[in-house]
Amino acid sequence: MAPRKKSQAGQGSEPAIQLKGVHRALHVLEYIAIHPGRAIDIAEGLGLSWATMHRTLQQLEQGGFLKRDLDTNRYSIGPRMWFIGATYVANHRVLEAAKTYLEEARRLPGVTVQLVERSRYEAVALYSTHSDEEITKATYGYHFPLHVGSKGQVLLAYAEPNFVDSYLSGDLEQLTPYSLTDPKEIRELLAKIRSQGYAVTLADVQLFTGSMAAPVFDRGNKIVACVCFVAKKSAIENPKRREEILETMLKTAQSISIALGWRPGQGKFI
């Protein structure tokens, strides 16, 4: 962050990464979180030498941070990571404030109610609840890219401009034929989302569902999460249902923002 006072290499170039081993291990964990699989594929995916990879995996598995299927030799995240990671939501002030409102919104039949946060380049659900039968796999634990789905788009719409730039310049995966992948179109959509204050998408994540989402702000007018309602595609296509869901969703999001100290009215546009 601060410019190096004495630069060995003259040019103030690289921030000189420290604790390489640790970083590698954590990258391996994160990579496996996204792409569980065999040792080789992971080594390849991360461009690591086999020996190094093997050592790392071995140690992480021994510690219970990774789990390994003995038949297929496929690695996935282990229980100890859940143990650690779960404490993040346990002490989460936004989630704490949100819970009662989310539970209230659960009364809506056929809707999954979620509180979603951005973690780097993905939207991750902190909480998920629904009235009757489950209609989607989108409970907590699943994560989605930011350019598809109303949750991702809302989080992106209110993110810092240079983050948006860097995100849109990366690979934009197409999950269904209805997923937007053109950066220009996405930017237009984000502007629209900002101006109307919410996002709605249909079938761009899973073919049979749609969703709508609205931002949650804190007292500093900064986005800290979003509320997302997921329902069957047909429900959202039905104007009456759609109106009903939208209204509850907006009210829920706003209630949470207010509980966090945000006050309506003051500059929605930064």
Partner DNA sequence: TGTGATTGTCCGCTATACGGATATAATATC
Partner DNA sequence: GATATTATATCCGTATAGCGGACAATCACA
Helix, strand, coil percentages for the chain (3-state, nearest 5): 45, 20, 35
CB under 5 to 8 A by kind: which of DNA, its own copies, none does 38 bind?
DNA
**Closer residue to DNA in complex, CB, 15/267:** 15
Site string for DNA, 116-155 (x = CB under 7 A): ----------------------------------------
**Closer residue to its own copies in complex, CB, 18/72:** 18
Query: Whole-angstrom Cα distance, residue 217 to residue 264?
Result: 10
CB under 5 to 8 A by kind: which of DNA, its own copies, none does 136 bind?
none
Residue type, 115: L
- The reply to whether 50 sits near DNA by the rule CB under 7 A is yes
Q: How far is the CB of 18 from DNA (least distance, A)?
A: 5
Strand, helix or coil for residue 184? helix
Which of 3, 13, 14, 49 contacts DNA by CB under 7 A? Answer: 49
Q: What is the CA radius of gyration of the chain?
A: 21
CB under 5 to 8 A by kind: which of its own copies, DNA, none does 208 bind?
none
- The reply to whether 38 sits near DNA by the rule CB under 7 A is yes
**Closer residue to its own copies in complex, CB, 129/238:** 129
Question: What H or E segment, with its residue span, contains residue 45?
Answer: helix 39-46
- The reply to whether 39 sits near DNA by the rule CB under 7 A is yes
Binding site for its own copies (CB under 8 A): 18-19, 21-23, 25-26, 29-30, 33-34, 36, 55-56, 59-60, 63-65, 67, 76-91, 99, 103, 117, 119-120, 122, 124, 126, 129, 133-134, 139-143
Going across the sheet that includes 122-130, the strands are 143-145, 122-130, 111-119, 223-232, 209-217, 199-202
Query: Whole-angstrom Cα distance, residue 121 to residue 53?
Result: 24
Query: Whole-angstrom Cα distance, residue 38 to residue 24?
Result: 17
Q: What burial letters (b/e) apply to 159-192, b meaning 16+ CB within 10 Å?
A: eeeeebeebbeeebeebeeebbeebeebeebbee
**Closer residue to DNA in complex, CB, 73/176:** 73
Site string for DNA, 6-35 (x = CB under 7 A): x-----------xxxxx-x-----------
Query: Whole-angstrom Cα distance, residue 74 to residue 51?
Result: 17
- For DNA, the binding residues (CB under 7 A) are 2, 5-6, 18-22, 24, 38-40, 48-52, 54-56, 58, 71-73
